[in-house]
Amino acid sequence: MPHFRRFRRLRATEGLRRMVRETVLLPGDFIYPLFVTHGHGVRREISSMPDVFQLSVDQLSSEAEELRSLGVGAVLLFGIPEAKDSVGSDAYHGHGIVQQAIHELKRVDPELVVMGDVCMCEYTDHGHCGILQGETIDNDATLEYLGRIAVAQAEAGVDVVAPSDMMDGRVAVMRQALDRAGFSNLPIISYAAKYASGFYGPFREAAESTPQFGDRRSHQMDPANAREAYAEIAADIDEGADAIIVKPALAYLDVIAGARERFDVPVLGYNVSGEYSMIKAAGRMGWIDERRVTLEALTSMKRAGANQIISYHAKEAAGWLHAMEAEARQPVKQPVIADD
């Protein structure tokens, strides 16, 4: 035999594979997004996102309990207000839907990390991420509103604000607004590299945030660009971001890996709605093994360098991980000895 490496030696048994495994997914790696809506007793499944629901505030305590029992320690909140207007005022009113949700979650589980998504698209009647000037978003006029939203969430008791609007300068303005309001210890985790992606399709149904005209390509990034992502990330860190998000995750694993290599802040990956729905749909059709593909996709994000993964799969994946752990701890099966 010529000389060659026998990689298969360390793949021969599950024990050996475990021993040399480089990436291990844990329930605590996940952040679970929640869509909060007005009303009472509402638990409305999103048709394009099976097993994901719009929930009214009274449903949140059981949700928090479930997450705690699964070991998922953080949520990311999106609000669907009762009424929308041109400036998205529900996003920054003290009684806005997300502020109510923050109060409730912190009341039922003070240890749960509650993150607030800061954007205007779910709250504006035109569905755009900022204040319109004609048909374009006025970047600088929007900044002041984003600062107000961050402060409103902070006053409600949020643990982290996460701006997803992609206006330039928002981290600097939000940091200043938070500091002035007495929240200098509140972290900002910014969606620094957020692409104009077709993978957000199902989210727009979930959050009722489809733009009434046009699209988001004037502020979200071109999927073709990676260097620009690192410039965006550097700018956000410079403006005061404490950690950054790459979004979407699966089609942008190179950007996650590149960000992990270049910057010494926590990097989060957002496993977005379309990534979720594709796996769910194919799983339901019987075309793929849903559990296996889900865990493989999530593992790829962690392997690429994501410290945390924002994912609609969080609860189900955490459940599977617990089940697999329990299976691995089963008592040793005694070899069957034939008694002739």
User: Which residue number, 92 or 109, has a Cβ lying nearer to ligand PBG?
Assistant: 92
CB of 330 to ligand PBG, least distance (A): 36
- The yes-or-no answer on residue 302 being catalytic is no
What backbone torsions phi and psi does residue 37 show, to the nearest 5 degrees? Answer: -125, 165
Of 40-48, 98-106, 200-208, 318-326: span binding ligand PBG (CB under 6 A): 200-208
What is the number of other CB atoms lying within 10 angstroms of the CB of residue 100? 18
**Residue 164 contacts ligand PBG per CB under 6 A:** yes
Structure tokens at 189: 């985790």
Of the two residues 117 and 159, which places its CB atom closer to ligand PBG in the complex? 117
**Shortest Cβ 312–ligand PBG spacing (Å):** 7
Q: How many CA atoms lie within 13 A of 266 on its CB side?
A: 12
Q: Does 154 bind ligand PBG (CB under 6 A)?
A: no
Copy the structure tokens of residue 204: 């727009």
Among 146, 152, 160, 272, binds ligand PBG (CB under 6 A): 272
Among the candidate windows 136-144, 196-204, 228-236, 294-302, which touches ligand PBG by CB under 6 A? 196-204
139: how many CB neighbours lie within 10 A of its CB?
18
Catalytic residue among 84, 106, 194, 315: 194
Q: Are 204 and 125 in contact (CB under 8 A)?
A: no
Alpha carbon 241 to its chain's center: 16
Q: Closest separation between CB of residue 250 and ligand PBG, Å?
A: 12
Length of the chain in terms of residues written: 340
State yes or no: is 280 an active-site residue. no
How many chain residues are in contact with ligand PBG, going by CB under 6 A?
10
- Residue selected from 203, 230, 252, 320 as contacting ligand PBG according to rule CB under 6 A: 203
Burial 206-242 (b: 16+ CB within 10 A, else e): bbbbeeeeeebeebbbeeeeeeebbebbbbbbebbbb
Quote the least distance from Cβ 25 to ligand PBG, whole Å: 19
CA-wise closest residue to 36 among 91, 87, 109, 111 = 91
Which of 77, 119, 154, 297 contacts ligand PBG by CB under 6 A? 119
Judged by CB under 6 A, does residue 200 bind ligand PBG? Answer: yes
Min separation Cβ 78 and ligand PBG, Å: 7
Nearest of 189, 247, 192 to residue 223 by alpha carbon: 247
Considering only residues 99 to 118 of the shown chain, the ones binding ligand PBG according to CB under 6 A are: 117
Give the residue ranges of DSSP H helices in 22-158: 60-70, 97-108, 139-156
Catalytic residue among 84, 106, 247, 280: 247
- Active-site residues, by number, are 194, 247
Q: Footprint of ligand PBG on this chain (CB under 6 A)?
A: 117, 119, 121, 164, 200, 203-204, 216, 272-273
